[in-house]
Amino acid sequence: MTIVFYVYVSAPGMAARKFPLEKPVTTIGRSSMNDLPISDKMLSRQHARIVKDDDGGLVVEDLGSRNGTFLNGDRLAIPQPLKAGDRITLGGVTLKLESESTTRVRIEAGGADALDNTILKASAELLRAQHQETDPRLPAEQLSKLIESLRVVNELTIELLRDISVDELMKFLMDKVFETLMPDRGVVLLRSRLTNELIPAVVRVAEGMSADDIRLSKTLVAQVVEKRNGLILMDTSTGSGVSLADSIRLSGIKSVLAAPLENEGEVVGLIYVDSQVGHRSFEEADLRLLTSLANVAAAKIQNARLMAEAAEKKQMDREFALAREIQQRLLPESPPTIPGYELQGSNTASRQVSGDYFDFRARSDGKVYAAIADVCGKGVGPALLMASLQASFHAWADESVPVAEMTGRLSEAISRRTGPDRFITFFLVLLDPATGDVEYTNAGHNPGILLKCDGSLQELSSHGLPLALFPGKPYGSSRFTLGAGDLLCLYTDGVTEANSPDGTEFGFPRLKEFLGGQVGRMPLEIEDSLLKELEEHAQGEPFADDRTLVMIRRTPAA
């Protein structure tokens, strides 16, 4: 039987993590050059090592560390052999050595199996029976077994009070099962939160037993997991053509126990044990004990998963807060003041952080850039990509290059800093305040809207694909003149894609209709009215994306 070793690394205030001992020599210390680097000031840079000997065993050795290496509380003076369950202490860190079999678990299809040889009982019924069998008038042997069962359940319950990982708890659970029920093989399968598949968490094979695969019938798994039944096959060697037992008997198995890991109606996995022909046969009392242990373990697993989900949410909230901070620091506090013009830009945050960006940048020749962009995706990644866009834009803004060339440069720069699944829609405007002439390039962004002083509207469509999709491909540009009283409005899709409770988008036609009624109004007034109209449209529905606006209006002649 092949055995693999690993250590659980635990430190105060940190969840234990599992580290496999796969190499012939595993070095441990503070330096990142170690196989197992540990950030603890009490550790030396090269503190200790674990070495595999010629027989497949392990030896731990201190490497002349300042604060020493301790094995089960005793300071190491010379290399010492290790066994499963040993604890190695280095500074404030504990390494607990564990081992497991390389036996694989397979869930195989079967027919519509009869269950002639099988006792099935609902796990709730088994738990009630376990609590009810406390009559002191029971036969001495039965009472002794009951007391032993209660002791084991109590020990596992006490483990719930400790801050241990699910992996450690599953190992402890299997220790207790093998100690009391003495099976030949055992496995705990846990349901994956991502795929819903049953994944082996612990596999155990008794000393001297074959490391052949553990094969479980789909029928058996369904009875335990889906129907929440505890299951016992009393003696498969005397079966009477039972389909469920056929594959088991062919494997030389005499008796089987299986129980759901169930707590408050939710099944998070199952535990399975068996014994070979010639060994002991399980009894119904054994199934009650296994079900009780499984129930206690399931409570811990659920609690651990809830804590993990809470920690993940907390981490996600921190990342969104960081992304929001990055985003807000990159946006201009106020637009530049240009005589004869009114400029306005804003970003109204949604519940999720997006990669929306807007900017104004005055050039040395008196012309002014205005830009708006939307990085695909949400979270820290898009926010960082937005920061890269801003840095490149500011670096080249003083070079007085045409907007099409500037857009092409930005596309190439962004493509070098991101993967093929990231891109940025971008709209760049260059205003000459002296004449009102505007040159613009639209790189896959929403159409800009030019509101003329007579109430007519002109759409400013795209000149090419978003930034970073096809770097090196040139962009075009267009021109128009912003006359007195004219308004240019740029926006991100958080405006047009704002949803009502029934899923209806605000939409581009409605935005144009809204702007058509804003002739003569200042950009700040228009922005306030538009955001209010979006809120009324959403009727309390959360906004899925930021609402970002840029407006430039040439004031009417006095």
CB 97 within 8 A of CB 5: yes
pLDDT of the residue at 239: 46
pLDDT of the residue at 249: 54
- Residue linked to tokens 């009624």: 517
pLDDT of the residue at 513: 95
* Residues 56-71, mean pLDDT to the nearest whole number: 92
Element (H, E) at 71: strand 70-71
- CA–CA distance, 542 with 352 (Å, rounded to integer): 10
| Residue type, position 60, single letter | V
- Residue linked to tokens 């509380």: 73
| Whole-number percent of the chain with pLDDT over 70 | 83
Task: Give the pLDDT confidence of 214-258 residue by residue, as tens digits.
Answer: 888 888 898 899 888 888 886 655 543 334 445 555 566 788 999
Helices marked H in 68-107 — which ranges?
Answer: none
Q: What is the 3-state secondary structure (H, E, C) of 265-316?
A: CEEEEEEEEEEECCCCCCCHHHHHHHHHHHHHHHHHHHHHHHHHHHHHHHHH
DSSP-derived secondary structure letter, 464: B
Average pLDDT, the chain: 83
- Structure-derived torsion over alpha carbons of residues 109, 112, 115, 121, reported in degrees to the nearest 10: 80
In 3-state terms, the chain is what percent helix, strand and coil (to 5)?
30, 30, 35
Task: Give the pLDDT confidence of 135-151 residue by residue, as tens digits.
Answer: 555 455 554 555 565 56
pLDDT of the residue at 509: 95
Task: Give the pLDDT confidence of 374-395 residue by residue, as tens digits.
Answer: 988 776 777 778 888 999 999 9
Candidate ranges 254-258, 519-523, 545-549; pick with highest mean pLDDT: 519-523
* Residues 341-348, mean pLDDT to the nearest whole number: 94
Task: Give the pLDDT confidence of 270-327 residue by residue, as tens digits.
Answer: 999 998 866 678 888 888 888 888 888 888 888 877 877 787 788 777 877 777 777 7
The residue that leads in pLDDT, 508 or 352, is: 508
pLDDT of the residue at 235: 60
- Among 84-93, 137-146, 182-191, 381-390, the range scoring the smallest mean pLDDT is 137-146
DSSP string, 473-518: -----EEEE--TT-EEEEE-HHHHTPBPTTS-B--HHHHHHHHHT-
Q: What is the 3-state secondary structure (H, E, C) of 317-374?
A: HHHHHHHHHHHHHHCCCCCCCCCCEEEEEEEECCCCCEEEEEEEEECCCCCEEEEEEE
What is the Rg, in whole angstroms, of the alpha carbon atoms belonging to the chain? 34
Candidate ranges 176-185, 279-288, 345-354, 475-484; pick with highest mean pLDDT: 475-484
pLDDT of the residue at 131: 47
Looking at the predicted structure, is the pLDDT value of residue 197 above 80? yes
pLDDT of the residue at 266: 87
* Residues 204-208, mean pLDDT to the nearest whole number: 81
The residue that leads in pLDDT, 505 or 544, is: 505
Confidence of residue 179 (pLDDT cuts 50, 70, 90): confident
CB 232 within 8 A of CB 284: yes
Looking at the predicted structure, is the pLDDT value of residue 134 above 60? no
| Residue type, position 150, single letter | L
The residue that leads in pLDDT, 350 or 126, is: 350
| Residue type, position 231, single letter | L
pLDDT of the residue at 320: 75
| Whole-number percent of the chain with pLDDT over 90 | 41
Interior angle at CA 18, CA 12 and CA 24, nearest 5: 120
- CA–CA distance, 167 with 201 (Å, rounded to integer): 7
pLDDT of the residue at 508: 95
Looking at the predicted structure, is the pLDDT value of residue 63 above 60? yes
CATH numbers and ranges of domains, the chain: 4-100 (2.60.200.20), 105-130+143-237+244-306 (3.30.450.40), 331-554 (3.60.40.10)
Helices marked H in 161-283 — which ranges?
Answer: 166-181, 218-221, 243-250
